[in-house]
Homo-oligomer: A and B are copies of this chain.
Amino acid sequence: MNPTPIVVRKYGGTSVGSVERIRKVAGDVVRDYRNGLKQVVVVSAMGKTTDQLIGMARQITDRPSPRELDMLLTTGEQVSIALLAMAVHHLGCEAVSLTGSQCGIITDGSFSSARIQAINTKTIRKELEEGNIVIVAGFQGVTPDSQITTLGRGGSDTTATALAAALGVPCQIYTDVDGVFTADPNIVPEARLLPLISYEEMLEYAASGSKVLHPRCVEIANKFNVPLEVRSSFRDVPGTKVVKEDKLEKVAITGVTGDAKIGRIALTRVRDVPGVAAKISQALADAGICIRLIIQGINHDNSNDVSLIVAQDDVAKAGEILKDVMSQVGAAEVKVDPDVAKVSVIGSGVASTPGVAAHMFQALADEGINIDLISTSEVRIACIIRKDQLQAAVRAVHRKFDLGNLERKELNGV
């Protein structure tokens, strides 16, 4: 006899955005419980709660202390878990809610972006054994000396995959879309749902502007080999399963993504001496700015042109910082350009299939779209273009690769 299967599920803010939505989630969870599935349910704060709490903090101070901001924001998920537990009780099932602290998610002390150091699953296992549906507050943890922290980037997705890894069970991410598509269906009407995708491809989707999953969550799932599934909390339809690449038929590319929320900083005539790149990246890291992409061109006259892509919200600040740095390391020009976007094709066969790059560039050329910068990896080709041409670019690439008719097979079963 097999033991009762266990799964970790995560419901995001939209999925628990109202009392009605919480009732719906409770109904789904109870239905599956009665069909013999034990569940650890990770939930986010309801809808706009986090934004409202941040708004209150901003009314008080421009620079809230990260410790107190975490104290404030973790109340959002605590409200969700209590209400969801009540809704499950109301349907006649046993459930118990646990804060990040109570369910043993131990983090370091980096308030607002804490890293999980350990997960003590004792309480969760005990509650599951007692027949409870265990409802966990996402996005939060506790330091060994009882400080309340938030996980920052990736939030509740990270909680869910980390718990699934610790428990050795699969993870389902319920969200407001059906899964991962060949392109954003709002831009490309013929975009198709991808039933299967590799961790590596999913990482690139996450990093390329698809908001379905956070890269950190995918990294954890990949590292600990957690079976991961993205599916809709609104419609009972199959979603996207994220699996090991060797379980999948190789295809050249699986989809195209567009990311408008970026900006570019161009450094021209940077002196070609050791340590300059380190100085640039360190200065941005010190300000908490992540560099999404670095592209360094060919060396001319002992100087380089370097382009940096950062998040749109960071571009002005990054520009200021780099003007400072550049004035220290010698004559270089710093140009800030917030009006760029990135179009990427993603697929495990990008590097091994001849002609993929040429095909993509031709698709853009046919639309009269100029390519500003190019960056490639094993599973991705990204082009930086003008922001106002992004939607046309995504449509053109999707059409050129005939992604609307993509079929991909699983090799060995998942």
Contacts and interface: CB of A to CB of B under 8 A. Distances in A.
Contacts of A59: 19
A-side interface mostly:
helix
B82 A72 contact: yes
Interface residues on A, range: 35 or more
Interface string A104-133: 000000000000000000000000000000
A363 to B, nearest CB: 50
A71 B85 contact: yes
Contacts of A406: none
A67 B85 CA distance: 10
Contacts of A64: 86, 89
A90 interface: yes
A148 interface: yes
A68 B82 contact: yes
Contact of A79 (B72, B90, B101): B72
Given A75-B79, A83-B60, A89 B102 contact: no
A146 interface: yes
A22 interface: yes
A97 B68 contact: yes
Contacts of A61: 86-87, 89-90
A69 interface: yes
A43 to B, nearest CB: 12
Nearest to A46: B56
A86 B99 contact: no
B65 A85 contact: yes
A146 B96 CA distance: 13
A343 interface: no
A57 interface: yes
A79 B71 CA distance: 7
Given A22-B60, A86-B60, A79 B65 contact: no
Nearest to A22: B60
Contacts of A96: 67
Contact of A19 (B19, B56, B72): B56
Contacts of A69: 82, 86
Contacts of A81: 71
Contact of A89 (B68, B78, B83): B68
A22 B68 CA distance: 15
Contacts of A75: 75, 78-79, 82
A53 interface: yes
A61 to B, nearest CB: 4
A60 B19 contact: yes
Interface in A298-320: none
Interface in A26-65: 53, 56-57, 59-61, 64-65
Nearest to A87: B60
Interface string A378-389: 000000000000
A78 B71 contact: yes
A244 interface: no
A266 to B, nearest CB: 38
A56 B68 contact: no
A261 interface: no
A186 B89 CA distance: 44
A99 B75 CA distance: 11
A394 B362 CA distance: 90
A60 B90 contact: yes
14 contacts: A56-B83, A60-B87, A61-B86, A67-B96, A68-B82, A68-B85, A68-B86, A68-B89, A71-B81, A71-B82, A71-B97, A75-B78, A75-B79, A102-B148
Given A67-B96, A71-B78, A75-B82, 13 more contacts: A56-B83, A57-B83, A60-B83, A60-B90, A64-B86, A64-B89, A68-B82, A69-B82, A71-B82, A71-B97, A71-B99, A74-B78, A102-B146
